[in-house]
Structure 1
Amino acid sequence: MASRIAIAMSGGVDSMISAYLLKQTCRDMVGIHFVTGFENEDAPPGLDGVPEPLARAAKELDLPIEVVNLQEEFQTRVVAPFVDTYLKGRTPNPCMVCNRTVKFGALLDAARNRFNAEKIATGHYARVRRDSAGRFRLVKGADPKKDQSYFLGLLSQAQLGAAVFPLGEFTKEQIRDKAIELGLDQYTKPESQETCFIADDRYRKFLQNQPGFQSRPGDVVNVRGEVIGRHQGVFAFTIGQRRGINIPASEAYYVQAIDPGANRITVCFKSGLLSRGVHVTGVNWIIPPRENAFKAAVRIRYRHKEAASAIEILEDESVNVWFDQPQSAVTPGQGAVFYQEDEVLGAGWIDKPLNP
């Protein structure tokens, strides 16, 4: 007997076409629209809590839709850590956190406990394969421009075993074309390009409204510690940022370091952003390494081209990564994901750049 599959339905084209593709092979499905408390007010829900465009699309797909309220879980597991990371002068990656703790955490639990589903499908462009030993492996999506395996590197074996990615073998263009062919494009909402819970990507405004945040002017110093200007609040900056510094020099300045305790940012010229390595903590190994030293490719942010590197596992199970070629703007708080060709070996959190 085939197991029931729940599919997360946001209202975007990816989740809708995922549902369509899944229905070609799965007869027992339920759509789940989960509420975070940060939904777009321009698309209010209907009487059953489902946004009207999504309800109409689900009717076309002959797919029942249930609503799950995860406002509390989203606030405590995603938003609160996001704010806390910024308070520490780091740049968070909330999508990686959300996938591990909400989509394949609280939402998967709800799918199982409330709707008797064994697995959950999402619109991620990635693939999961099971090897001969029964271990689940995470593989890049077929579309190199849209591959989202980076955001899934913190998933456990149990979570990967419950994950279904119908779009893994397709390109984004193929999915858009399919939506038009099926007439589902008229129901889809625009894709969110940045953090889903921050309206219009206004990070500074969002942070200033959070408890504990106080945007105060402070010093901008160069790499020698000399004060060369002022800023209007450290939380408006991230490592490698050029915009907003506004200090004239022979070449452009970039943010090299952020010290929220001292309310200070350090800037440098572009060459000063290069690092020989990175220290990574909280590592989740999807494929446990056989040795404590090995070679792998490492991606230090989503749009970063993977860098050939030497990996060194330390006694505390954190990792030192030594790049074959120096990499720019290593950013504490972001995810570091380890690859062997198209396969994700594991992932962790960037702690600090290394420059011996």
Structure 2
Amino acid sequence: MNSLDLPKAPEATRVVVAMSGGVDSSVVAALLKREGYDVVGITLQLYDHGAATHRRGACCAGQDIHDARRAAETLGIPHYVLDYEDRFREAVIDRFAESYLQGETPIPCVECNRSIKFRDLLATARDLGADALATGHYVASRRRPDGGRALYRALDPSRDQSYFLYATTPEQLAFLRFPLGERPKDETRALAREFGLSVADKPDSQDICFVPQGRYQDVIARLRPDAVRPGEIVHRDGRVLGRHDGIIGFTVGQRRGLKLSIGEPLYVLRLEPDAARVVVGPREALATSRLRLADLNWLGDAAPAGLGDIPVAVRVRSTREPRPATLSVDPATGGVEISLLAAEDGVSPGQACAIYADDGPRARVLGGGTILRVEDARRAAA
């Protein structure tokens, strides 16, 4: 087996590298090239924001395509730019807008990985005769005793991206490789300097890539201007406290920007799209102890249906560590429910819920789903 766990010599192994123009994927291409693999770089043109994308913290922009091309030239590998704008708009941007209009808080990076990178790009890699598709994600993939591959949290917990990759299927995992999963970020930047890559000190992307100024409301209003309606801001006890210009300006857990003054701190508790209503209340009302999931993707060894309560750990936001919970699947309906051992604040429908075998730093990813419904801690305890 070679270093990618494939039964070929490196020089006989073609690897497509998804090159975003950042330091991580550029180093992946450089490492594989140095090991003698037949490396092909591919960059996806996902959208065009013009000059607005040439700013710190933005990703997937015209400048990034230029940086990816320059890295490929430095390494001496072929590089292709593929126009995926139409499929990205349909699969990611349109769904993102629709989800917000339904009062949800979507995570578009999950859908991009699921629908674009690990479906469409993976198919393109196969068409090119590749034996594997490698990316710069910080997540680990290892062979299981049964010959399949499993997903694990990255070595560097501050960089771990497993939350965004829970929707990867077993078939995709068999073809995917993540060479940075066992490396700390500072080592990646040191390698970039060693390879002479111009992106060695390039800042990491932080924004949603198709929201160049960090204002997703503007994107949604442009895509669906007819669907943005003003409405009331209502206290959970029924009092009307004010009005708003559209629920797309609010997210569950939000405190700032409510423009209310009633002598107590208020937080957005939920959004009611049919009535165009924003419901607010005290912080303690944000506590959630039960989640209902949709679109479960399972990566465990045995299907969870019918196994009763399964001890797991879950992550409801990328910035939070996995927390102990139990998972149960109704064998009759297929409904998936997560019961949290300790309540979480600010959980919203539309968010991703990644499921792990435990809450350890190198835990295995068992899958995840989209949060369909939340239940506050007091109702769950009743």
Q: TM-score range by the shorter chain?
A: over 0.9
Deviation for aligned residue 1:243: 1.6
Cα separation, 2, equivalents of 1:172 and 1:109: 29
Maintained 8 Å contact 1:276/1:325: yes
Cα separation, 2, equivalents of 1:246 and 1:211: 25
Pick aligned residue for 1:298 from 277, 289, 314: 314
Matched, 1:37 2:85: no
Cα separation, 2, equivalents of 1:111 and 1:136: 19
Instruction: State the AA in 2 paired with 1:6.
Output: V
Cα separation, 2, equivalents of 1:323 and 1:274: 11
Pick aligned residue for 1:280 from 269, 274, 293: 293
Structure 1 portions without partners, runs of 5+: 44-48
Maintained 8 Å contact 2:110/2:164: yes
Cα separation, 1, equivalents of 2:165 and 2:50: 25
Maintained 8 Å contact 1:120/1:163: yes
Cα separation, 1, equivalents of 2:65 and 2:49: 10
Deviation for aligned residue 1:230: 1.6
Cα separation, 1, equivalents of 2:74 and 2:38: 16
Matched, 1:233 2:233: no
Per-residue deviation, residues 169-195 of structure 1 (Å, max 9, x unmatched):
111122122223333145775432121
Q: Which residue in 2 is equivalent to 1:11?
A: 21
Structure 2 portions without partners, runs of 5+: 1-7, 55-62
* Secondary structure, aligned partner of 1:17: helix
Pick aligned residue for 2:33 from 23, 29, 48: 23
Per-residue deviation, residues 121-158 of structure 1 (Å, max 9, x unmatched):
11100011121112221001100001001111011111
Equivalent pairs, count: 350
Q: Which residue in 2 is equivalent to 1:312?
A: 328
Q: Which residue in 2 is equivalent to 1:180?
A: 193
Q: Which residue in 1 is equivalent to 2:209?
A: 196
Q: Which residue in 1 is equivalent to 2:121?
A: 107
Task: Report sequence identity in percent.
Answer: 35
Per-residue deviation, residues 304-324 of structure 1 (Å, max 9, x unmatched):
222211211123223111111
When structure 1 is superposed on structure 2, of 51-60 and 239-248 the one drifting more is 51-60
Q: Which residue in 2 is equivalent to 1:132?
A: 145
Q: Which residue in 1 is equivalent to 2:174?
A: 161
Q: How has the CA–CA distance of structure 1 residues 213 and 243 changed in structure 2, closer, same or farther, with 3 Å as cutoff? A: farther
* Secondary structure, aligned partner of 2:347: coil
Per-residue deviation, residues 200-253 of structure 1 (Å, max 9, x unmatched):
111111111013544333111111121012222110111111121121233321
Deviation for aligned residue 1:20: 1.2
Cα separation, 2, equivalents of 1:195 and 1:128: 25
Instruction: State the AA in 2 paired with 1:30.
Output: V
Deviation for aligned residue 1:265: 0.4
TM-score (norm 1): 0.93
* Secondary structure, aligned partner of 1:200: coil
* Secondary structure, aligned partner of 1:209: helix
Q: Which residue in 2 is equivalent to 1:333?
A: 350
